[in-house]
Amino acid sequence: MDTTATFEAHRPALLALAYRMLGDLGRAEDVVQDAWMRWEGHASEVDAPKAFLLKVVTRLCLNEVGSARARREESRGDRLPEPVDLGDSGLGQLEMLDEVSMAFLVVLQRLTPPERAALLLHDVFDLSHREIAELLRKTEAASRQLLARARENVAEERRALGTSSEEHRRLLQAFVQASAAGDQQQLMDLLADDASLVVDVGPAGGHVGRIRNVGRPVEGARKIAAFLAAVAQADTRPREGHECQLNREPAIVFLAEGRPYAAVMIAVAAGRIRRVFVHADPARLTHLGQIATATS
């Protein structure tokens, strides 16, 4: 067995698993690199490389999300998963990427880490309940319960969301234009009554321009419209917005001096915007810098 070739054949799947578990591409890449070092030492003993590597990556991810730093980050009500350009991330080679929208990743982050692992390993990567139970050090019955709870939470969001790419793009463009103009009435016409807005500008105390850490989602169309109108009035910087695809959906990335400082994504239900995600933590957007070159 060619140890390197075998690992590289499974790398996209391992990276996709780690990214979904952690919501951060850089941390996911580190986990996959750690998995490689473990694989080097045990490859000759392994009969089923894919299952072995998936289990190694899952264990490493569970250790990572159990760290004090990760617990602090995940406890933030305004923390968003890192948006990615799939074609440029190393994830684009994988066929099993139907579940990478920002809305889906946000739901994943709300699950407990064991629920997250059970759902991904069983429904995406086809591991058995026995294998998952051994990995999580639980009984098969407990593993099935974890999966059932995770499926229930994810299914509720799936039922509510979904639209064509064309409508998604049209609503996104209209939303960004109305936000830039501070047009509260237009924003309320675009937003579902129970819409929510999450603005991630990094850890507590962070800010981008006049946009400061909110600390929790803004709930309801009226409150969201008022918040965005206030931001538009306070932030008068020139805005250089570029359309692109992030997490396989239309998105708009804003640049300042060629560097990304915010990415706007939405989720749509019944012709109106149900979720708005504004990722404005520059430290976690640096990998989107190629957008400036691609769109110039």
CA dist., res. 58 & res. 268, Å (int): 31
User: So what's the pLDDT on residue 95?
Assistant: 44
User: So what's the pLDDT on residue 97?
Assistant: 43
Pair (120, 208) in one structural domain? no
Q: Is the pLDDT of residue 73 over 70?
A: no
Among residues 7, 168, 192, 32, the alpha carbon closest in space to that of 102 is found at 168
Pair (59, 77) in one structural domain? yes
- Domain endpoint, select from 114, 134, 160: 160
Q: Is the pLDDT of residue 89 over 60?
A: no
Pair (170, 200) in one structural domain? yes
Domain containing residue 181: CATH number: 3.10.450.50
DSSP 91: -
CA dist., res. 66 & res. 217, Å (int): 24
User: So what's the pLDDT on residue 78?
Assistant: 81
pLDDT tens sequence across 100-125: 789 989 999 889 999 999 999 999 88
What is the domain extent for residue 104? Answer: 3-160
Name the domain count of the chain: 2
Sign of CA dihedral 61, 62, 64, 69: positive
- Quick check: 146 and 137 in contact, CB under 8 A? no
| Residue located via tokens 């760290």 | 67
CA dist., res. 245 & res. 265, Å (int): 10
Confidence class of residue 70 from pLDDT cuts 50, 70 and 90? low
DSSP 121: I
Q: Is the pLDDT of residue 90 over 60?
A: no
Show the tokens assigned to 189: 């016409």
Show the tokens assigned to 286: 């640096």
Task: Enumerate the β-bridge partners of residue 198.
Answer: 277
Pair (98, 207) in one structural domain? no
- Quick check: 205 and 285 in contact, CB under 8 A? no
Mean pLDDT of 267-280: 93
Domain containing residue 91: CATH number: 1.20.140.160
Q: Is the pLDDT of residue 63 over 90?
A: yes
Of all residues in the chain, the percent with pLDDT exceeding 70 is: 83
Pair (175, 146) in one structural domain? no
CA dist., res. 296 & res. 286, Å (int): 17
Confidence class of residue 167 from pLDDT cuts 50, 70 and 90? very high
pLDDT tens sequence across 207-263: 655 566 667 899 999 999 999 998 888 766 667 788 998 988 999 998 887 788 889
Q: Give me the phi and psi of 36, to 5 degrees please.
A: -60, -45
Pair (10, 150) in one structural domain? yes
The model carries a pTM of: 0.86
Pair (120, 207) in one structural domain? no
Pair (10, 153) in one structural domain? yes
- Domain endpoint, select from 91, 126, 160: 160
Pair (46, 172) in one structural domain? no
Pair (108, 53) in one structural domain? yes
User: So what's the pLDDT on residue 258?
Assistant: 79
